């Protein structure tokens, strides 16, 4: 039976980064991805400036910059009452940009392949068993099982790994996110828009010279009115296609246990309003690769402790802002109060923005 050092389930940013760094350190790595790349994902498409050091260490920063993308010079908050507050974003090499996930994720996956990871696309994990000190895995791609000494779950908020192992937390699908790409409105500018709406909110960002990423977030009963608003506001055709995802929040999972590491949304899901998701994915993937390497060397207990500590540190000082953002966007009354406070005290909103966009 084929034996790998590391098996990564999921080829998004967290999984591809983990596979790439693991392969670069000399480990034998297989990555299982259920879809065929390139593909789009429900996402705001924004890269936080803190992503750039990780992308440089991976050797793909210039490739990402060369991909079609939108420059983001400021964030514009719009209240339900159509009041606007503008906050400038960092400029230069460390600036925030927006790039379609079909392009960004393909760059990362190909980097993992080039560094030596075995990539198996259009392959779905169907079973997991713990076999001695390794994991026995079966996929739809082949009836022959294979084994891995370290398993990395990078398969998102509805993680198949967690579900098959009985670890997936129960959650209420209390909100839904929709996302699409539409023609870039004339004069939109180099901005990302975060717009509060009755029943939810919208995020908008240019991903290249001709397309706008449009996201809608709301409760199931309000998502249709939000779509109707978007159709009228942006003059969308009735045939406009949307991608969807739920849940937007769920209880977090312990990031490490028994040679099993959870990364990205598989470990913890945060409110998308703050736009930090890709950073958490990249950084947790990098940390998991380092932990996996130490596990293979025989330092499993210490490596898992270190990974848990570093994983927690990654979120430290950020989650309270994410919780505040979630409370603001799900409560129209609180959102209106906070928006009015931000207009009177713009330094407060600048402070919160800089805590997220460093």
- The C-alpha atoms of residue 333 and residue 340 are separated, in whole angstroms, by 11
Q: Is residue 218 part of a domain?
A: no
- SS3 of 350, please? helix
Displacement of CA 160 from its chain's centroid (Å): 17
- What would the pLDDT profile of 324-349 be if each residue is shown by its tens digit? 777 777 776 677 777 777 666 667 66
- What would the pLDDT profile of 245-296 be if each residue is shown by its tens digit? 988 888 899 999 989 999 999 999 887 777 789 999 999 999 999 999 999 9
Q: Is residue 23 part of a domain?
A: yes
Q: Is residue 54 part of a domain?
A: yes
- The C-alpha atoms of residue 45 and residue 344 are separated, in whole angstroms, by 30
Mean pLDDT, the chain, whole residue set: 90
- What would the pLDDT profile of 192-204 be if each residue is shown by its tens digit? 999 989 888 999 9
Total domains, the chain:
1
Q: Is residue 263 part of a domain?
A: yes
Burial of 128 (0-12, 13-18, 19+ CB in 10 A): buried
Q: Given a cut of 90, is residue 23 above it in pLDDT?
A: yes
Q: Is residue 291 part of a domain?
A: yes
In angstroms, what CA-CA distances link 227 with 197, 217, 240, 280?
11, 10, 10, 29
147: domain CATH number is 3.50.50.60
Q: Is residue 195 part of a domain?
A: no
pLDDT > 90 in the chain, percent: 68
- The C-alpha atoms of residue 58 and residue 80 are separated, in whole angstroms, by 41
- The C-alpha atoms of residue 301 and residue 257 are separated, in whole angstroms, by 9
- The C-alpha atoms of residue 333 and residue 274 are separated, in whole angstroms, by 19
**Structure-model confidence comparison of residues 353 and 307, the more confident one:** 307
Q: Is residue 107 part of a domain?
A: yes
Q: Is residue 355 part of a domain?
A: no
Q: What is the pTM of this model?
A: 0.92
**Structure-model confidence comparison of residues 82 and 72, the more confident one:** 72
Residue 128's domain comprises 3-67+101-171+251-315
């Amino acid at each position: 039976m084929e034996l790998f050092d590391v098996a990564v389930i999921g080829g998004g940013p967290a999984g591809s980064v983990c596979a790439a760094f693991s392969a670069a350190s000399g480990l034998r790595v297989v990555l299982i991805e259920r879809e065929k790349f390139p593909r789009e994902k429900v996402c705001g498409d924004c890269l936080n400036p803190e992503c750039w050091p990780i992308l440089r260490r991976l050797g793909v920063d210039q490739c990402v910059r060369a991909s079609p993308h939108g420059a983001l010079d400021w964030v514009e908050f719009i209240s339900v009452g159509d009041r606007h507050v503008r906050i400038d974003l960092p400029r230069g090499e460390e600036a925030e940009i927006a790039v379609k996930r079909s392009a960004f994720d393909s760059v990362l996956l190909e980097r993992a392949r080039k560094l030596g990871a075995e990539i198996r696309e259009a392959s779905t994990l169907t079973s997991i068993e713990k076999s001695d000190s390794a994991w026995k895995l079966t996929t739809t791609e082949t009836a022959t099982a294979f084994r891995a000494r370290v398993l990395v779950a990078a398969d998102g908020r509805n993680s198949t790994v967690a579900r098959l192992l009985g670890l997936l937390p129960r959650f209420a699908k209390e909100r839904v996110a929709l996302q699409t790409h539409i023609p870039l409105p004339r004069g939109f500018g180099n901005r990302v828009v975060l717009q509060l709406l009755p029943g939810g909110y919208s995020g908008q960002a240019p991903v290249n010279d001709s397309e706008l990423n449009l996201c809608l977030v709301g409760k199931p009963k309000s998502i249709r009115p939000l779509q109707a608003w978007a159709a009228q506001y942006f003059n969308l055709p009735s045939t406009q296609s949307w991608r969807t995802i739920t849940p937007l929040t769920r209880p977090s999972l312990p990031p490490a246990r028994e040679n099993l590491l959870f990364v990205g949304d598989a470990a913890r899901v945060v409110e998308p309003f703050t736009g930090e998701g890709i950073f958490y994915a990249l950084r947790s993937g990098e940390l998991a690769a380092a932990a996996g390497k130490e596990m293979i060397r025989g330092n499993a207990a210490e490596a898992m402790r270190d990974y848990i500590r570093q994983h927690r540190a990654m979120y430290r000082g950020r989650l309270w802002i994410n919780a505040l953002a979630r409370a603001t966007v799900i409560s129209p009354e609180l959102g209106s109060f906070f928006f009015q406070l931000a207009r009177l005290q713009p330094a407060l909103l600048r402070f919160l923005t800089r805590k997220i966009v460093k």
